[in-house]
Structure 1
């Protein structure tokens, strides 16, 4: 059996994480070709991955949703209200992020409702591979909600 030092194990984990983020990026480009023109997407997704880990997001489902949300709404997690909600003590970040997604999905499905939150997101995520058709519909709804024309980048 191979034995790795702590540094070697960390390096392998880093390689795995980068591969995971790249797979999400490829899935996003396949589902929405406009993302292929977004030269910042890879870097943004990696920073979002690191931020999600730092906040305590750990499940594959939530991580995939977090990265997909970053693609459609760059820097969403940096907004003070969002960051405060996700890092608030009392419940795990995964549970809070799941609640955040449910509220945002409700707002997308009820666009005429005029109260509540001012920050956005999307619905539930697929598995680690993230090739989930529901994301295409939610991405389109999210794009309409935030006024994004599908051209990549901030918009």
Structure 2
């Protein structure tokens, strides 16, 4: 059995996180080719991923959704209203983000139906 120090474990975890974000970035660029030339994308996605961890996200789906929103709406989670909502006590940040997405999708659907 391999025994790792805390420092070695932290390095492995950081690499795993970096690879995860790079993989999602590849999907984002596939879906939004115009973002391939965005020099800020990688750093923004890494910062957004770190934010999901701070907010206590545990499921891949919401994490990926959060990164996609960041890719197309830079810094969305830093706006005062969104930050306050995501950090509001009582409901986990991951669940609050999913609620935010549901509202946005419903409004988008309503706008499509009006036109």
TM-score range, shorter chain: over 0.9
Gap regions ≥5 residues in structure 1:
114-155
Q: Which residue of 2 aligns with 1:32?
A: 32
Q: How many residues align?
A: 113
- Give the match's secondary structure for 1:64: helix
Runs of 4+ in 1 over 3 A off after TM superposition: none
Distance 2:63 2:102 in 1: 15
Q: Which residue of 2 aligns with 1:11?
A: 11
Gap regions ≥5 residues in structure 2:
none
Distance 2:33 2:109 in 1: 24
Distance 2:107 2:9 in 1: 42
Q: Which residue of 2 aligns with 1:118?
A: none
Q: Which has the higher helix share?
A: 2
Q: Which residue of 1 aligns with 2:59?
A: 59
Q: Which residue of 2 aligns with 1:21?
A: 21
Distance 1:51 1:11 in 2: 19
Q: Does 1:42 align with 2:42?
A: yes
- Give the match's secondary structure for 1:111: helix
Q: Which deviations, in whole Å up to 9, do the C-alpha atoms of 1:84-138 show, x marking residues without a partner?
A: 111111111111111111111111111279xxxxxxxxxxxxxxxxxxxxxxxxx
Distance 1:78 1:57 in 2: 16
Query: Greater relative contact order: 1 or 2 (C-alpha under 8 angstroms, separation 6 or more)?
Result: 1
- Could you state the TM-score of these two structures normalised by the residue count of structure 1? 0.69
Larger mean CA deviation between 86-95 and 51-60 belongs to 51-60
- Could you state the TM-score of these two structures normalised by the residue count of structure 2? 0.92
RMSD: 1.4
